[in-house]
Amino acid sequence: EPEVTQTPSHQVTQMGQEVILRCVPISNHLYFYWYRQILGQKVEFLVSFYNNEISEKSEIFDDQFSVERPDGSNFTLKIRSTKLEDSAMYFCASSKARTNQETQYFGPGTRLLVL
Amino acid sequence: DQQVKQNSPSLSVQEGRISILNCDYTNSMFDYFLWYKKYPAEGPTFLISISSIKDKNEDGRFTVFLNKSAKHLSLHIVPSQPGDSAVYFCAALSGGGADGLTFGKGTHLIIQP
């Protein structure tokens, strides 16, 4: 069964450094998403991406974040200058269409630790 | 502002019995609801969903009930199996054109032998 994959599974970085989290969505899906879960808290929506542009973003998704689909398969989340509070699990998800028609399927996550 | 609330952080059920997980919401714009299951160190796995035009959806051992007037939904798992032990998240989507799911904090279901 097709699945969303994410790399790396773990990332440790120093505060102020840039990180790029990578995702390969399910191949015939058109909508892509990033979510995060800070330890002990709920999963929070960051951004959605469709047709090579941001479709929606939350207030968490500020100027230090960016997303890109550099080729036909990868979807990336870049954090320009990491802060301690960016430490979290980051989940990528994809769907064939908007969720009230199609379900969002999640990847296994990247655990980001900012020191 | 908790628009989706799962008030039970944990629930313990005996194997073979029914597990009932509850979820309440406050946003009247939500029109699609999903349940996800999550094991440690893994991403959320989709279980079952329901549109606001329905009041029940069933898939094997899993049934979701929606009470729109009470803004309440529940997930029934019957019979409960040891592999069902996980954290269950309720999530909702607004019909107002939003893409992002709003999640509850989750309920940790423990199935006891």
Q: Please write the tens of the pLDDT for every residue from A21-73.
A: 999 999 989 999 999 999 988 999 999 999 899 999 999 999 999 999 988 78
Report the pLDDT value the prediction gives residue B95, as an integer from 0 to 100. 75
Q: What is the pLDDT of residue B80?
A: 98
Report pLDDT digits (tens) over B13-44.
Answer: 999 999 999 999 999 999 999 999 999 888 99
Evaluate whether A95 touches A81 at the Cβ level (below 8 Å): no
pLDDT at B97 over 80: no
Mean pLDDT across B61-90: 97
Instruction: Please give the structure tokens belonging to residue A68.
Output: 């890109």
Instruction: State the nearest Cα–Cα gap between B42 and chain A, in angstroms.
Output: 5
Check if the beta carbon of residue A99 is closer than 8 Å to that of residue A86: no
Of A47, A56, A108, which is closest to B98 when you measure between CB atoms?
A: A56
pLDDT-above-70 percentage for chain B: 97
> Which of B99, B103, B107 to probe by mutation at the A interface, max A CB count within 10 Å?
B99
Whether residues A100 and B45 touch (CB distance < 8 A) is answered with: no
* End-to-end CA, chain B: 37
- Residue A88 is predicted with a pLDDT of 97
Is A99 a residue whose pLDDT tops 70?
no
Residues 6+ apart with CB under 8 A from B97: none
Distance CA A48, CA B93 (A): 13
Task: Using an 8 Å CB-CB cutoff, list chain B residues near A6.
Answer: 43
Closest Cα partner for A37 from B91, B32, B71, B8? Answer: B91
Can you tell me the distance from the alpha carbon of A83 to that of A13, in angstroms, rounded to the nearest whole number? 10
Per the prediction, chain B carries an average pLDDT of 94
User: In the prediction, which pLDDT does A35 show?
Assistant: 97
Per-residue pLDDT averaged across B62-91, rounded? 97
pLDDT at B105 over 90: yes
Please, are residues B57 and B50 in contact by the beta-carbon 8 Å criterion?
Answer: yes
Per the document, the length of chain A is 115
Residue of chain B minimizing CA distance to A47: B100
Give dist(CA B67, CA B47) in Å, integer.
Answer: 19
Residue A109 zone, left/alpha/beta (φ > 0; ψ -120 to 50; rest): left
**pLDDT score, position A100:** 65
pLDDT for the residue A73:
85
To the nearest whole Å, the CA of A99 is away from the closest chain B CA by 7
